[in-house]
């Protein structure tokens, strides 16, 4: 392969720039020309294609977001639209493609591979909702952003003897709440995989209060409820508690990537380029037991997510 493309698709995540940089620099090392495709599959259809070399990616390693920008492109689900995308890639002489995104983006990548364009996926999503890999790009940075917020909120909650329900991202996957909740010393962690009633959350808060805690932080996944309504329900059951709520929102998606995400983006990017230089496509890269690996797209996506109940139980054990 002499020319390859790279795009970011779906939700952005800190560390995507580190991966783009790695693709550009590894491409330079392995002697392939790299093209950056802006705005995901939509930009591919609109031919927003630009040559990038090792210098184009200077000074992006530490930046959040994605220098190639991202977009959703529902039309990409239509076969005739994908056929047009293949034609555009052929026209530019691009023989292989690297797609940085989540499971939706990987479906697009699989379908492109079936049309004869070897495509490799890099998992970029803060949710950590892809079971085939221990970690996705952006998860660690988002956890650290949540931790920083927990620390700040705790200062004021403790001064005023209050309870705060902190809502974090994660529609179907509670990993952000679980990992940041454990590291941040949450009194309760409420995730979609392990639902709790408001009464049960209240019981955890009261248990802490009875043992002398002045304040409590409850970390709630957005997929398990809304912070404001949970705060209201708890306050109505126990009027003596001063319960507040905080919704972290998009702050979790931005910011300078952590060391772990810069490292992961770099290693994923290099691995993806190496696969394409060998003519290998229809793969997604990941990290398992601290080793970078790749797996067939469909096989990887079919792996069922396993909720870490052991870690959840330990987090609860610590909330004493």
Residues at the contact surface with ligand ADP, assessed by CB under 6 A: 9-11, 41, 72-74, 76-77, 101-105, 107-108, 111, 125
% helix / strand / coil in the chain, to the nearest 5? Answer: 45, 20, 35
Instruction: Annotate 228-239 with b (16+ C-beta within 10 A) or e (fewer).
Output: eebbebbbeeee
**What 3-state DSSP class applies to 317?**
helix
For ligand ADP, the closer CB: 41 or 268: 41
For ligand ADP, the closer CB: 104 or 208: 104
Contact 121, 150 (CB under 8 A): no
Active site residues: 127
C-alpha distances out from residue 34 to 13, 192, 200, 318, Å: 21, 40, 54, 49
Rounded to a whole number of angstroms, the minimum distance from the CB of residue 101 to ligand ADP is 4
Distance CA 99, CA 280 (A): 14
Rounded to a whole number of angstroms, the minimum distance from the CB of residue 73 to ligand ADP is 4
Rounded to a whole number of angstroms, the minimum distance from the CB of residue 40 to ligand ADP is 6
For ligand ADP, the closer CB: 101 or 208: 101
Rounded to a whole number of angstroms, the minimum distance from the CB of residue 110 to ligand ADP is 8
**What 3-state DSSP class applies to 48?**
coil
Distance CA 79, CA 52 (A): 29
Rounded to a whole number of angstroms, the minimum distance from the CB of residue 82 to ligand ADP is 7
**What 3-state DSSP class applies to 168?**
strand
Residue nearest to ligand ADP (CB): 104
For ligand ADP, the closer CB: 298 or 318: 298
For ligand ADP, the closer CB: 105 or 246: 105
């Amino acid at each position: 392969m002499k020319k390859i493309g790279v795009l970011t698709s779906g939700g952005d995540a800190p560390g995507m720039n580190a991966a783009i940089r790695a693709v550009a620099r590894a491409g330079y090392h392995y002697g392939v020309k790299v093209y950056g495709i802006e705005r995901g599959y939509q930009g591919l259809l609109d031919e927003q294609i630009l040559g990038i070399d090792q210098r184009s990616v200077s000074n992006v390693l530490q930046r959040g977001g994605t220098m190639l920008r991202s977009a959703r492109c529902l039309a990409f689900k239509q076969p005739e639209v994908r056929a047009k995308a293949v034609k555009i890639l052929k026209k530019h002489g691009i023989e292989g493609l690297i797609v940085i995104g989540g499971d939706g983006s990987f479906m697009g990548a699989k379908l492109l591979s079936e049309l004869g364009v070897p495509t490799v996926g890099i998992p970029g999503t803060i949710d950590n909702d892809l079971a085939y890999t221990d970690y996705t790009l952006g998860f660690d940075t988002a956890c650290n952003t949540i931790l920083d917020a927990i620390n700040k909120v705790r200062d004021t909650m403790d001064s005023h003897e209050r309870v705060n329900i902190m809502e974090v991202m994660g529609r179907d996957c509670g990993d952000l709440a679980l990992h940041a909740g454990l590291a941040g010393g949450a009194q309760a962690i409420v995730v979609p995989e392990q639902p709790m009633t408001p009464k049960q959350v209240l019981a955890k808060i009261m248990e802490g209060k009875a043992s002398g805690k002045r304040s409590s932080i409850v970390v709630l996944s957005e997929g398990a409820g809304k912070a404001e309504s949970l705060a209201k329900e708890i306050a109505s059951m126990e009027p003596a508690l001063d319960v507040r709520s905080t919704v972290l929102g998009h702050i979790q998606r931005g910011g300078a990537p952590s060391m772990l995400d810069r490292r992961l983006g770099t290693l994923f990017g290099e691995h993806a380029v190496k696969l394409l230089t060998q003519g290998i496509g229809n793969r997604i890269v990941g990290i398992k037991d601290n080793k970078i690996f790749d797996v067939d797209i469909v096989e990887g996506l079919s792996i069922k997510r396993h909720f870490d109940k052991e870690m959840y139980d330990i987090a609860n054990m610590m909330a004493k």
